[in-house]
Amino acid sequence: MKKLNTMLILLLTTVMLLASFSCSNRDKRIRKNITSILTPISSGNPYEIMIVAEDSVYDGYVGKSILAVLETPMKGLPRDEAYFKVSHITPAHYDRITNLFRNIIRIVVDPKEYTMAKFKLDRDVFSSPQTILTIQGPDVVAVSTYITENTQFLLNFFTDEEINREATYLQDEHNIKFENAVKEMFGCEFFIPIELNKMKKGDHFIWASNDAVSGLQNIVIYSYPYVSKHVFDRGVYLALRDSFMRENIPGEKPGMYMSTYRPSVMIKDINVRGHYAQEARGLWEMKNDMMGGPFVAHSIVDTIRGMIVVAEGFVYAPEKNKRGMVRKLEAALYTLNPLPENEQEKKK
């Protein structure tokens, strides 16, 4: 018996060591302080959702309703790309392998069990990070109607889950040089992906890029005085954006510079860290050149210094899908945080 216990301990230790080596630092840090080290890392990629439903349910009204929601084209991209990539399995194939998926929607129709349609949420049940949303109801009409009525909730919920995962990861793994430059120039905390390792400074402006030949990703941050609430007006924001970009992001030849394709821009108010912010997303273009692509930006008020601070991510990848790249940069924007002046000095 003692020998058996020793063998079990050795086996468990080996499994834990193999798991620690096979998991990326990114995955381990995302789940840090969330679950036990023995909880498996979730499978699947960001913005992928697996539907678990009987074929008869998925092939009918309910399946059409959920696909109509999850495959809605994401706004602010040059061509249609769905919010999420969707896959489907039946409950019979929902096992110890498939239940490790990061985003799962279970659809359960049972007239004996339920009298009305509703959601049930579970997190990190079989793996981490993991979200399992069960949509349950008495019949397919009730469930499909409920899905359609909650279209925006479903889009926002799973998008926020992925944004929060990436932002959490960035707290531990980010470009330190850029972080320090932002603290020194703007008095803000701001975490961006490590691979954006090329940096250029201007007047109240910093530009970081991965400088890639394919899949060019960029983040900029700039600031200007908060003189009145009208600095958030659409026309003022666009004029200031064009001014900063023209000055700091020139093209390859004289007369080429970045500008905003104004008809594409959508602006809305959002809440970040409990404070007001403004989100803008749309398309940029290089004047007198053929370059262009999507951008997303957050404008916040630094009440300590009386400034508007704008952080923006933009992509140039004509040969690739852009949703994933834009979402990754967008997650970084949520880490932007003005520091108290004493904290700015401490963290330099």
- In order along the chain (348 residues), what is the average pLDDT of each group of 10 residues? 42 41 47 63 97 98 98 96 98 97 98 97 96 98 98 98 96 96 97 97 97 95 95 97 96 92 97 92 94 97 96 96 97 96 61
Q: Pairing state of beta strands 292-302 and 307-316?
A: antiparallel
CATH topology of domain 175-346: Protein Transport Mog1p; Chain A (3.40.1000)
- C-alpha dist (Å) from residue 154 to 52, 71, 105, 148: 16, 11, 10, 9
Rounded to whole angstroms, how far apart are CA atoms 253 and 213?
A: 18
Rounded to whole angstroms, how far apart are CA atoms 127 and 348?
A: 37
Close Cβ partners of 130 (under 8 Å, ≥ 6 residues apart): 42, 100, 101, 102, 103, 104, 123, 124
Tell me the HSE value of 225 on the side-chain side, using a 13 A CA sphere.
2
pLDDT of residue 341: 78
Q: Which amino acid is at 86?
A: V
Neighbours of 112 (CB within 10 A): 6
Neighbours of 197 (CB within 10 A): 14
Residue 210 in contact with residue 178, Cβ under 8 Å?
A: no
Rounded to whole angstroms, how far apart are CA atoms 135 and 122?
A: 12
Neighbours of 182 (CB within 10 A): 23
Rounded to whole angstroms, how far apart are CA atoms 51 and 67?
A: 10
- What are the tokens at 311? 């952080």
Q: Which amino acid is at 201?
A: K
Rounded to whole angstroms, how far apart are CA atoms 172 and 106?
A: 32
Residue 219 in contact with residue 196, Cβ under 8 Å?
A: yes
pLDDT of residue 286: 95
Rounded to whole angstroms, how far apart are CA atoms 269 and 300?
A: 10
Rounded to whole angstroms, how far apart are CA atoms 134 and 123?
A: 11
pLDDT of residue 273: 84
Residue 221 in contact with residue 254, Cβ under 8 Å?
A: no
Closest to 20 in 3D by CA, of 10, 9, 28: 28
- What are the residue ranges of helices labelled H in 72-119? none
Sorted by where each begins, the domain ranges of the chain are 27-169, 175-346
Phi, psi of 333, deg, nearest 5: -60, -30
Strands of 53-204, DSSP E? 85-89, 103-109, 118-123, 131-137, 188-189, 198-202
